Copies of this chain bind each other. A is one copy, B any other.
Amino acid sequence: MAPDFSFVIDAREGDARVGKLTTAHGAIETPAFMPVATYGAVRGVSAEELRAAGAQILLANTYHLEERPGSEVIAGQAGLHGFTGWRGPWLTDSGGYQVTSLAGRSRLDEDGVTFESSLDGRRQRLTPETAIQIQERLGSDIAMVLDECRPNGSDAAASAGLRAAAERTLRWAERSARARRRGDQAVFGIVQGGTDSAVRRANARGLAALGFEGYAHGGLGLGEEPVQRVDLVAATNEVLPAAAPRYLMGIGYPPDLVDAIAAGIDLFDCVIPTRHARHGVLFTREGVLKLRNARFKQDAAPPDPGCDCATCAQHSRAYIHHLLRVNDTLGARLASIHNLRFYFRLLEEVRAAIHAGTFGALREKVRLVPVR
């Protein structure tokens, strides 16, 4: 369906794998991390800065972009690649996650979901078909099917709800596959089923039968224990097509990433590096620095002395502390560049380690670093 799209696995270590994902707008070395650019930009950070830090692909959001500025506007400017400053690959999330994150403002039925805008009360209707159509107008390289993403719960009613949501997600995936028109856009299916491994595996088998270009694990990072999440991912990956890319949605901290890579994940997205940066929390290999803390007021060291990012090359902890304290947005920007570089560099090291057969040791090292 998408002849521009391919995925080649170059090396393996256990279930971990290094590969190359080729899209209509460029190739991505996997495992890869996708910065979140909800509205078509990573808050405060330019495309050149993202590229210099090592970004390969960005993630934008269908629901939010349809609300502002609208997919018609973006289509009129040659899609996301023409509208924004990022000319490389784009992945668009479908809006299914907003069923959970905007729970009070969404109403779901078998045909689709209706959102009420928090801006002006305007209603927005998403169905499996319109979600694909919007993403085709946005022109992303990888589109996601509309899924029903529900918060996890442990009682019987929650279980039944999660099973029903997974079944509906599968019916929606089938409709999504039929709705596709663009030959230059890959579409990924999304596995749901909460924390019930059997439901997730059944869901994955159903999606695999539909033949998407890739598969995502959805509905995780919503309260389950990290250990349980890794088990669910591993069990589900067993029944997904081994040759297709696998994407763990919305996860996570560096230890979560290496654990998921060990279970066979190829793609990630997460707001953590950029959101933490805006709050002044910077990642280093020794743990996080909370740069708003008064103890950094006179600290002339770079945020992470071992880091090769543009921020660490030029600025001290004291200066970023000061910018954060006086609410100059340059502070959040410098911190975002560092945190993204930290994530990209981690994945560069992961890829090199899998090639070298040393990923197991790297994983143990990364897991020891405190993230709070």
| Chain A residues within 8 Å of B, Cβ to Cβ | 39-41, 43-46, 68-69, 73, 76-77, 83-85, 297-298, 300, 314-316, 318-319, 321-323, 325-326, 328-330, 332-333
Contact = CB atoms under 8 A, between A and B. Distances in A.
Which one of A76, A300, A329 has the greatest number of beta carbons of chain B within 10 Å? A329
Nearest to A67: B326
Contacts of A44: 44, 328-330, 333
Among all A-B residue pairs, the 8 with the closest Cβ atoms: A44-B329, A329-B329, A39-B326, A69-B322, A41-B330, A41-B328, A44-B330, A43-B328
A49 to B, nearest CB: 9
A330 B45 contact: yes
A298 to B, nearest CB: 5
B77 A316 contact: yes
A167 B318 CA distance: 40
A89 B83 CA distance: 37
Nearest to A73: B298
A77 B300 contact: yes
B325 A69 contact: yes
Contact of A39 (B69, B328, B333): B328
Nearest to A323: B41
Nearest to A300: B77
A317 to B, nearest CB: 10
A179 to B, nearest CB: 26
Given A76-B298, A298-B73, A298-B76, A83 B328 contact: no
Interface of A is mostly: loop
B318 A83 contact: yes
Contacts of A297: 69, 73
Nearest to A43: B328
Contacts of A300: 76-77
Contacts of A43: 328-330
A45 B322 CA distance: 15
B328 A68 contact: no
Given A84-B319, A300-B77, A318-B77, A332 B330 contact: no
A45 B323 CA distance: 12
Residue from A44, A83, A322 whose CB has the most chain B CB atoms within 10 Å? A322
7 contacts: A40-B319, A41-B330, A45-B330, A69-B325, A83-B318, A83-B319, A85-B314
